[in-house]
A and B are shown apart, each in its own frame.
Chain A
Amino acid sequence: MSETATPKPTETKKEEKDARNSSIGQALLIPSLAVLSGLIIGAIVIAVSGANVFTAYGALFTGSFGSPTELIEGLRIFFATGDNASLVKAIYPFTESLVTATPYIFAGLSVALGFRCGLFNIGAEGQFFIGALCSAFVGYSIKGLPAYIHLPLALLGGAAGGAFWGMIPGYLKARFGAHEVVNTIMMNWIAFRLSDWLLNGPMKASGFRPVTANVLPTAELPRFFADPLRFNWGFVLALIMAYAVYWLLFKTTIGFEIRSVGANPDASKYAGMNIIKNFVLVMALAGGLAGLAGSSQVLGVDHWVGQGFSAGYGFDAIALALLGKSHPFGVVLAALLFGFLRSGATDMQSMAGIPIDIISIIQGLVIIFIAAPDIIRWLYRIRSLKVENTVLTRGWGK
């Protein structure tokens, strides 16, 4: 009856480090295995459809990363003769993948930020549209500005437009308890129809097609290389925003409030936090990030907006946030993955005759495995660590 429970003071530092490492390890392990499993099952589907798996995945690889032999050959020619045509051709697929990943990063961050506050932002797609339209408008309508003012202004316009679009459902939730899932979906439809009208009316450039005018060169995100490489500063901006979101969430009092409200609204209220303020703030920030996704696409890649401008970036963003465990760095990795898959799929279709939809199947499988990690744990016999689930959204009303 003499002993009492005392924690061992020794080795706690080491244990703690181990615990952290293993939880980071598992955070990466499960998504990696989910991707692997998605590719394996995708291979089975390809095989069943009668195509050659190696040809298909080979094309997927060269389509997303480029062909290593072409790269070496390109480098050789470049250093020997100074002619970079072959080199440009060799790195084109890789840079295109990064171009595709850029809006994914922004939009994924948008949804992830919402998740952290317990909000489910399904409206990233609509916010993307509004952001793109605002940036395009600033980009083509304001003339005579130098690039160092015009470009930031165009980006800011996109962010502000998206933020406004996100703030509306945020305010409706805060003020009236209206659920953000319903309202962001509604805002999406308003955004789609609004853009239809704008592109056929006030914002329509001269000509037959319902598109805007090209943005002025002063509003373009500069490209790193000459045509046809479209790789631009938007990618760098996306990485900077990922770090900014990380810093905001984990290093500031603002982020502490956001995460607290997401994890336990009652305790947050007890601690004196203003829950309503956080809902509006987070929806505005999330909207701004999704708006920047649209801006980066307009200002960096397309330079104009047309109907059906978004390729579903805002909806894929939900999957990205899940895949990245709502962590900004996880979102970047997930966005790169989606960028490579999407961009490689085009080659897979043209070279191996595999429908581009197979990529959607693989993406879908990956999402299922992420959403139900027990499948992966069971498949690969991984012991479960106690990881708490992210709250995606809360019930109706308050």
Chain B
Amino acid sequence: MTNVLELRGITKRFPGVLANDKIDITLREGKILALLGENGAGKTTLMNILYGLYKPDEGQILVRGKEVTIHSPNDAIERGIGMVHQHFMLVPVMTVTENVMLGVEPTKNGIFLDKEKVAKRIREISDQYGLAVDPTAYIKDLPVGIQQRVEIIKVLYRQANILILDEPTAVLTPQEVDGLFQILQTLIDKGKSIIFITHKLKEVMHAADDITVLRLGRVVGSIDPKDATPEILATMMVGRDVNLVVNKKAAQVKEVALEVKDLFVRDERQNLTVNGVSFEVRKGEVLGVAGVQGNGQTELVYALTGLLPLDSGQITLLGEAIKHTTPRNILERGVAHIPEDRQRHGLILSFPIHDNMMLCTYYKPPFARGVSLQAKKIFSNAEELVKQYDVRTPNIYVNAGTLSGGNQQKVIVAREFSRPIQLLIASQPTRGLDVGSIEYIHSRIIQKRDEGTGVLLVSSELDEILALSDRIAVMYKGQIMDILDASKVNKEYLGLLMAGVHPTNTATKN
């Protein structure tokens, strides 16, 4: 069997960081190689080298045994290497055909675009690999899973034999992930070779033929998926034993922290996305809100935290009805919010860590005396929180944007947990994070629960909901399908509820 791609001793240094340290990687023809590693392990740097975006300081790249140099993405494409980025590079208001032809526009008579030719080719590719993509559809009308297929078509249209997929499952629903794996299988059956970058352990074992694990810029080792278990892979990735199960005691449930009655919310485009939701969260318990992304969970959290106005309904916080649902009114009553989009809502990336550590309390002592900011208090607060929450940063003066995703999330958790809180609203608290950070943030959330804080956890990761929740509410199309006792549910039943199917037979209704 031939090796279609080989990297030998690739080293890349950035000022102060050794991003890749003598990395050796081999991709066999017609196989899927999974590149596993935490955020910051050097996966993306390595792929950017392969795609010609960075120049390696040392090392060789061999395509089918021949050494090549890759100076630009065009070089990479010429050598048959194509990249499907984590964040899609598509123009929403254009059709599939227009997106695919961007950059390589074929013309008729020299000036007229030959869309028919491209559309025909897209249909051929789509049929060949079972992609089921309509070339005339507009990107903005397509679900995320199909948009990803358009990205794959773009690569195949440019006649790539080696496909690199960067975190392809991060944005997909469980069903879409299954679909993607089928497509990958078809691709390798037809002779393509694939590098699949991820930090999700189960997917790797599911889909890959070979697994190579990176940590801190080095290859830790390669392993056959048959011999791998999530525990072994996690240990390789993190460098120590990882506890994949959250240990928690039985909940000590106390009085009601949050009561929501008949809540209706419109999103920013004025669509009614929360349709009459009622539930309560008690102090000392975790209420998990499960559901496929986009079923109103985001707007529910926005309404509860004051980021969106209520259309109608009643929110009662600690026994008091809230009339003015402004963010400040709500957070001053002891509500902490870990927002879904940490870079949009949670942090000001261009501000130093110390300012982000007091983002919600900057106007109050000890951070302010009158209107005057107290720099010393701000710095000492940040120093202390960085230590206490193990934020990995050179110092507190660097911008939040320079931190890795996991450490950014730790800054938010540290800030929100450092003030006295009665209720925690955590939305997708571990999205895109590495195993080590997930473990850490889960343990902190459970710790808050055990201290008597009510927790509303919204997550599209079913495993996370099951690991942390005491009760589980399932949302579908803006409504709560059912609220269940977490100890008495199984995944299949939840899966049905998430798909909008309400089995008529008995369920342990709360």
Across the interface, B394 reaches (CB within 8 A) one of A12, A256, A267, namely: A12
Task: Provide the residues of chain B in CB contact with A227, threshold 8 Å.
Answer: none
Do B239 and A267 touch across chains, with their CB atoms under 8 A apart?
Answer: no
In chain A, residues 213-259, which have Cβ atoms closer than 8 Å to a Cβ of chain B? 251-254, 256-257, 259
B88 is an interface residue with CB less than 8 A from chain A: no
A312 CB to closest chain B CB (Å) equals 32
Task: Provide the residues of chain B in CB contact with A266, threshold 8 Å.
Answer: 344-345
In chain B, residues 358-388, which have Cβ atoms closer than 8 Å to a Cβ of chain A? 359-360, 362-363, 368, 371-373, 375
Do A16 and B307 touch across chains, with their CB atoms under 8 A apart?
Answer: no
In chain B, residues 208-232, which have Cβ atoms closer than 8 Å to a Cβ of chain A? 216, 220
Do A270 and B327 touch across chains, with their CB atoms under 8 A apart?
Answer: yes
Do A260 and B337 touch across chains, with their CB atoms under 8 A apart?
Answer: no
A261 CA / B114 CA spacing, docked (Å): 46
Do B359 and A260 touch across chains, with their CB atoms under 8 A apart?
Answer: yes
Do B359 and A5 touch across chains, with their CB atoms under 8 A apart?
Answer: no
Do A267 and B359 touch across chains, with their CB atoms under 8 A apart?
Answer: yes
Do A269 and B327 touch across chains, with their CB atoms under 8 A apart?
Answer: yes
Task: Provide the residues of chain B in CB contact with A1, threshold 8 Å.
Answer: 220, 235-236, 239-240
A396 CB to closest chain B CB (Å) equals 15
Given contacts A251-B372, A254-B371, A256-B355, contact A264 B220 (CB under 8 A): no
Do B362 and A270 touch across chains, with their CB atoms under 8 A apart?
Answer: no
B278 is an interface residue with CB less than 8 A from chain A: no
Do A263 and B371 touch across chains, with their CB atoms under 8 A apart?
Answer: no
In chain B, residues 297-336, which have Cβ atoms closer than 8 Å to a Cβ of chain A? 305-307, 326-328, 331-332
Do A264 and B395 touch across chains, with their CB atoms under 8 A apart?
Answer: no
Q: CB-nearest residue of chain B relative to A1?
A: B239
B440 CB to closest chain A CB (Å) equals 13
Do B328 and A267 touch across chains, with their CB atoms under 8 A apart?
Answer: no
| Number of A-B residue pairs having CB atoms within 8 Å of each other in the complex | 95
In chain A, residues 2-23, which have Cβ atoms closer than 8 Å to a Cβ of chain B? 2-7, 12-13, 15-16, 19-20
Task: Provide the residues of chain B in CB contact with A388, threshold 8 Å.
Answer: 349-350, 399, 401
Do B348 and A7 touch across chains, with their CB atoms under 8 A apart?
Answer: no
B351 is an interface residue with CB less than 8 A from chain A: yes
Q: CB-nearest residue of chain A relative to B215?
A: A1
A53-64 interface code vs B (CB 8 A; 1 in, 0 out): 000000000000
A12 CA / B368 CA spacing, docked (Å): 27
A121 CB to closest chain B CB (Å) equals 21
Task: Provide the residues of chain A in CB contact with B328, threshold 8 Å.
Answer: 272-273
Given contacts A4-B239, A272-B327, A272-B331, contact A267 B347 (CB under 8 A): yes
Q: Residue among A1, A251, A252 with the most chain B CB within 10 A?
A: A1
Task: Provide the residues of chain B in CB contact with A16, threshold 8 Å.
Answer: 394-395, 397
Given contacts A7-B394, A256-B355, A388-B399, contact A270 B339 (CB under 8 A): yes
Across the interface, A7 reaches (CB within 8 A) one of B220, B345, B350, B393, namely: B393
B346 is an interface residue with CB less than 8 A from chain A: yes
B477 is an interface residue with CB less than 8 A from chain A: no
In chain A, residues 138-177, which have Cβ atoms closer than 8 Å to a Cβ of chain B? none
Q: Residue among B220, B305, B355, B359 with the most chain A CB within 10 A?
A: B359
B79 is an interface residue with CB less than 8 A from chain A: no
Across the interface, A253 reaches (CB within 8 A) one of B327, B337, B368, namely: B368
Task: Provide the residues of chain A in CB contact with B305, threshold 8 Å.
Answer: 270
22 A–B pairs (Cβ distance < 8 Å), ordered by A:
A1-B240, A5-B216, A5-B392, A13-B395, A16-B397, A253-B362, A253-B371, A253-B373, A254-B371, A259-B351, A260-B359, A263-B350, A264-B344, A264-B347, A264-B348, A267-B359, A270-B337, A270-B339, A270-B360, A271-B359, A272-B306, A272-B328
Known contacts A4-B239, A260-B351; 10 further A-B pairs (Cβ under 8 A): A2-B239, A5-B40, A5-B216, A5-B392, A7-B394, A264-B350, A267-B348, A270-B345, A270-B360, A271-B327
Please list the 4 inter-chain residue pairs (A to B) with the smallest Cβ-Cβ separation, ordered nearest first.
A272-B328, A270-B345, A252-B371, A388-B350
